[in-house]
Structure 1
Amino acid sequence: MPNSSPPVTTEAAPSEQPVIRWTEAGEERSALWRSERGAPPPKRVVLADDTTTADTAYRQACEGTALLWRGDFHNARQLLQALARRADNVPARKRKKAAQVVPVADAFHQHRLAQSQRARMLGMLLIPFNADYSIPLRRAPDVKTACTEAWGPADAAAGASVASLRELLGITSAHEWRRKGVEIAALGEPPHNRIHPHYGVFSPVRGEYIQLVATAHLPKPPPGQTSLMAFDVGTGTGVLSAVLARRGVRQIVATDQDPRALACARENLAQLGVADQVQVVQADLFPEGQASLVVCNPPWLPARPSSPIERAVYDEGGRMLQGFLKGLTAHLAPKGEGWLILSNLAEHLGLRSRAELLEAFERNGLRVISRIDAKPQHPKASDASDPLADARSREVTSLWRLAAIQ
């Protein structure tokens, strides 16, 4: 039986890329280990195929044993779905405990922990890849293009690799987002209004914050200048730079630290025909110089991200938010404005109070010119089954217009 192979201990190779090891047909095998969130290779690995039952797989995955799939690819997907159903079938005693009244911040952290444990368990179903990113399984799809976008060009010298099926599904989903693009109403009429997010770069699916930037009153250029200079701090896909460019801002500097985001922004801005208005540079927060408008849409929740893609949502310790506020006045031209786009979800989750935010403005020499609010329209905002439904139902996204205290 494939799932009766003896588990073995996995150790990272003395190189940048960790290695996963297992025993197959009486021989020790190894391959490169791929994990976007930086998870170490599983220490215990057994083989699994079409004869492996969902109950057996669930028990092994919960125990921390990974299953390297050797059967039909579509059956692997069905097994992953079965594992997800078991993970979501919470026993009555746990549902009762979860229903007890706890501080909202504790409920948030419990939810995050449960999601992390669920992801770890589902990540135990593994898929093999050849050196060219083909999958040596029956009925396996062609994922070479999607894997190249996520992992870079295939390297024959690197040999075979292994990743979780859940990660592969994320890669193929990201490829479809990139291929089809996301329609952004603020960028005009289709088909010339699409943003194409790359793998690992957060997709601009929440349109309310984009619309705020598209409609807020633009500041005037400094005395003696005819054009407005703008900074887009943490540009991501480049969507806010594109909106500002379509609004007629002729000089924009967009920054990001992530090479994936920089490449994504450059591609989107070129595709939208506004690349000549936007300079994309790698920087930690601000570029050099000053601007009449400095825009920043930092991660909204001060919590630790569990993967690179979550850095667009979770900002541990509020580092980016505090860094933006601390450096803003030095980068504002005379009579310039800083636009901070921020949800108040953190306030409703007990992670940051409104008083703390206002105190941070004052502490960094900033005053509020005005605030423009918008209610979220995404599906989770009205999903009563969401564990954070109460907080999400009261969420408001705001554009804070900030200026230096004179």
Structure 2
Amino acid sequence: MTKEKIVLAYSGGLDTSITIPWLKENYDSEIIAVCVDVGQVEDWEEVEKKALLSGASKFYCPHAADEFAKEYIFPAVSAHAKYQGTYLLGTALARPLIAKKLVEIAHLENAVAICHGCTGKGNDQVRFEMGIAAFDSEIKVIAPWRQWDIKSREDAIDYAIQKGIPITSTKEKIYSEDENLMHISHEGGDIESPANFVNYESVLKITNALENTPDEAEFVSITFEKGLAVAVNGLKMEPSEVLSTLNHLSGKHGIGVLDWIEDRAIGMKSRGIYETPGGALLMEAHARLESLTLTKETIKLKQMISTEYAELVYNGQWYSQANLAIKAFMDKTQECVNGEVQLKLYKGNMLPYSVTSPNQLFDEDVSGFGEDDLFSHHDARGYINVMTLPTKIQQRKGMI
């Protein structure tokens, strides 16, 4: 009799590694491990080998870094999406794409369920399951952390040792890390308590601590077409190349490190350390170009809508009607966001150097102090009279 199949969102980390033997014990099913390449640096042959040694019967690795950059990261950059005005959503952006790939492979393999290794306290369980539901609302979802007797990462390590599963996590260094093209997040261990000092040099992976950054500044130019970064320092690049190049340049100068206390989707506060060097630089450059090419009213609308957009993405609603509507608005705003931005990188700072655009709304004749054919200094008198009228009336009535 053929066994049923379960597709597992596999990373090769502690949680998903121990999930394979647990699933086999509790479901007597064939486990299909799926590790989606969203730009993380991995030896994919070793990841596959580990999955199979842990008990998976098959391994898939969809390489989706360019899709991730073009269809998920770049729209978030164009929207200037920052959750609570701070976090650049690196993990949240990857989850809907991974969910999409999981469903595709589940359908290909005729699997009866999809399993993820998210804890019951985190955001990713919501993001994965909302993403899965967007493509298959009927398929069963298995979440071991909401079922098994393992209560902590220390318990998980003990279980891995018991089952002979090779892991890199130790009880002394028990950080949970998530890496993709956009960022690397670090949580757990001594990071958890906001009262603890964390030595960044021992935690950061792609970003230099400020003490280790070069003493010489470096200049970088980014070229945009319709809001999308297409070249770095004059070299045309694919979307994933843009991010990986900027990660290297920015990481060298200590840019994009966030040590932050956030409000999770399920209501609790948590502390995390995020490295988003390339994403931070890209968003800064994009905002600089928009300041030159968008009207005041458009910028204001974007700022208002961006807050809601970031909330939707953080809470896993990438495929929601509201989010798709916002994306359509954002796409419209990008039609004239063309040009080149140069920034100076130094000791964690991104300093403006120059910005040029064929669609710039800055007009030197109009904005200068001299006369021009569009605006006369005398025109300001009527404008001020109209704008101050309510204030004058209030003053006459003794209301101010």
Q: Do both proteins adopt the same fold according to a TM-score greater than 0.5, normalized to the shorter chain?
A: no
With normalisation by structure 2, the TM-score equals 0.23
Query: Relative CO higher for 1 or 2, CA cutoff 8 Å, sep ≥ 6?
Result: 2
With normalisation by structure 1, the TM-score equals 0.23
More helix by share: 2
